[in-house]
Amino acid sequence: MEATTARAPFAAALRGWRERRRVSQLELALRAGTTQRHVSFIESERSVPGRAMVVRLAEALEVPLRERNALLLAAGYAPAYPETPLDDDALAPVRAALDRILEGHLPYPAVIADRRGDLVSSNAAFDALTAGAAPELLQPPVSIARLLLHPRGLAPRIANFGDWAWHVIDVLERERVRNPDERLSALIEELTGYVGERPRAGHDHVGFAVPLRLRADEGELRLLTTLTHFGTALDVTVSELRLEAFLPADEETAALLARRPR
């Protein structure tokens, strides 16, 4: 009885992740290589999962590594995934790879962000986005979303601010639903206060995506964003890094960025 009680937080956490992912007990069981009966018993605290089963269930639900460690702790086991500081010597190859990726995106802006969207590193073209932003928005930790939408950030320079702002907020909201975080929720609430009523759909897009139309001294930049992450990372820090690249949506933008001094 004591062992089951100690592991009760895991049962609730597992059920929460399963419901958040909108996965049935049967589907989770098939993904994790077990039975629906076993999953049901775990969630009702009638069965205590082994360490390997906790990991398999977390993998099946695509739970982030940080939260997988939390699930292991809730089940009474030690964390399985290390969290190495980015400046640690062990991550020197990762830092070198990120530097090469950022450099490779020149002359287009690109940044590395952490799990909360705070700036970790950027390439030399990032100044195309930061020009004119209030100094306090560029003090670490720099929230990229706040920099984009704050009235003293890029907002006055964004020609399609309504469409773009809601695009950014919707992306953050989807991330919050998938991976709840109090700080992210607070950021979404803050940013929502900067934007007006949601525009009607389809006002400004490039066939498949909303471009960032940014006014610059050289002319208007039309940029599309892409997000990339390490798909096979086993370290919490590395798994949470995201590359966000701002790519030209037309030839005029590509030419303007190519001519910009850095």
Parse the chain into domains and list their residue ranges: 2-74, 89-259
Is 217 or 241 the better-scoring residue by pLDDT?
A: 241
With b for 16 or more beta-carbon neighbours within 10 A and e for fewer, the 212-241 pattern comes to bbbebeeeebbbbbeeeebeeeebbbbbbb
CATH number of this structure's domain 2-74: 1.10.260.40
Burial of 33 (0-12, 13-18, 19+ CB in 10 A): exposed
Please state, rounded to an integer, the average pLDDT across all residues of the chain.
90
Helix ranges restricted to H, 87-245: 92-104, 127-130, 144-149, 161-178, 182-192, 236-239
C-alpha span between 47 and 231 (Å, rounded): 32
**Which CATH number fits the domain 89-259, given the four candidates 1.20.120, 1.10.357, 3.30.450, 3.30.70?**
3.30.450
Would the pLDDT of 225 be above 70?
yes
pLDDT digits (tens, 9 = 90+) for 112-138: 999 889 999 999 999 989 989 999 999
Confidence bin at 243 (pLDDT 50/70/90): very high
C-alpha span between 181 and 188 (Å, rounded): 11
Task: Say what the pTM is.
Answer: 0.83
